[in-house]
Structure 1
Amino acid sequence: MALRTNNTLLDGNFFTYTGMRSLINSPPPTNFTVTKATMAEFPALNGQSVSYAVLEYPAGSLFTQRLQAGDMFVFPKGLVHYQFNCAKNHSAIAVSAFGSAAAGTVSVPFTVFATNIDDDILAKSFKTDVDTIQKLKAGSNLRPEMWYSNF
C-alpha cells in the first residue's frame, strides 16, 4: 500500500476524485466553465503524467470542427486552438486529458500583443495594418495573470 508524505496509509478515498459530480444534472452553463482534475485538486495524479478537465460551452460558442455526440478531437501539444459552440439552444461539453498532472494554458493575445514588438512588425507578421493591430490590442484582455495559468 502507498504512503502519503505524512506516512499515513492511503485508502481508496485518496485515489477517488469526486469533483466532477457537480456536472451531473447541472443546468446548462451560461458562461464557458472548466471543471478540472489536476494535481492541485486530485493529489493522486502526482507522478501519473495526466490531468483532466471538463469544458462546458454555452449555446452559441465557437469551436473549429463540427463534432457529433461521442466524437473525439485531438489538439496536438502546443497547437494554438479555440472552440465555440454554434448551437443556439444547447450547451456542449468537452472532456480534456493532458499529458501533465499540472497542465496549464498560455494566452496567445497576451504573449503576442502585450510585448514590446513594434506594431508595424506585428502588422506585417499578421498580413494586416497597424490600425487592425491596435484594435486587436484594445479588445484583448492583456492582464499579466492571463498570460499563463494552471487552469
Structure 2
Amino acid sequence: MVLAISTPTQANDPDILTDFIAPNASNVNASFFTYSVLSGFFNPYPNNFTVLKASITQFPALDGQSVSYAVLQFPPAGVNPPHTHPRAAELLIVLLGTLEVGFVDTKNVLFNQTLLEGDIFVFPKGLVHFQYNRNHNQSAIAISAFGSANAGLLSVPKSVFTAGIDDNVLAMSFKTDVPTVQKIKLGLKN
C-alpha cells in the first residue's frame, strides 16, 4: 500500500540524461536528425481529411525531445472530429484557408474561434477539441506542434462507438435508441 501511494507516475515525456537517444549513438550523423516526409506532402486539393505525423514512431530522433508535429489537410467542409491528446498541448497554425476550432474545458464550456491564415490557437493538454473547414469551396492546411514526442490520440467518436461498449449503454447515455447507435457505428467503420 505504501509503495502504491509513494510511487510517482509520469504522464509526460521523461527527462533524458544525454544529448539525444539513438540506437547506436557512436554511428549517428545529421541524417538521423532529418525527417523529409513532410516536404512532399502538400496537396492543395485533398479528397479526405489527412494527417501526416512527425512523432517518435515516424521520426525516432524525437525520443526524449518532448516535441512532435503534424500536418493537417482539410478538404472543403472537412472535419477533424472531437479528440484529445492525453500527453500534450497542441499549438495549431493555419497555413491555408480558414478553420473553425474549439475545445471544451472541464466545466463543459466551449471555447471556439474561426482562424484565418497565420492565426495560431492552443488546445490545452487532455481537453476534447476539434477543427472544421467550414468553407465548402476551398481546402485548408494547418500544422500542429505538440509538447511531447508521443502526444497520443483519443478519437471521441471512435473510442465511444467502436470500442465495444454495449449498444444499450450508448443508447441510454446519448438519450437515443439502439438503431441510431448501430447506424452511427456503421458510419464509423468506413
TM-score by length of 2: 0.61
Unaligned runs of 5+ in 1: 143-151
User: 2:131 matched to which residue of 1?
Assistant: 83
Q: 1:117 aligns with which of 161, 166, 181?
A: 166
Contact 2:167 2:182 in 1 (8 A): no
User: 1:43 matched to which residue of 2?
Assistant: 60
> C-alpha separation between the residues in 1 aligned to 2:173 and 2:21?
53
Q: State the structure with bigger RCO (CA 8 A, min sep 6), 1 or 2.
A: 2
List aligned pairs for 1:50-129, cutoff 5 A: 50-62=67-79, 63-64=100-101, 65-114=113-162, 115-119=164-168, 121-129=169-177
Contact 1:109 1:141 in 2 (8 A): no
TM-score by length of 1: 0.73
Change (3 A) 1:130 1:7: closer
> C-alpha separation between the residues in 2 aligned to 1:72 and 1:117?
39
SS in 2 for 1:74: strand
Q: How many residues get paired?
A: 140
Q: Give the aligned residue type for 1:28.
A: Y
RMSD: 2.7
Contact 2:68 2:149 in 1 (8 A): yes
Contact 1:38 1:51 in 2 (8 A): yes
Cα shift at 1:129: 3.5
Cα shift at 1:72: 1.5
Unaligned runs of 5+ in 2: 1-18, 80-99, 102-112
Cα shift at 1:118: 4.7
SS in 1 for 2:24: coil
Contact 1:39 1:45 in 2 (8 A): yes
Summarize deviations over 1:86-128 as a string: whole Å, max 9, x none: 2222211121122321233223233222424351x32332233
Q: 1:16 aligns with which of 27, 31, 34?
A: 34
> C-alpha separation between the residues in 1 aligned to 2:21 and 2:172?
57
Summarize deviations over 1:50-73 as a string: whole Å, max 9, x none: 211011101121344421111122
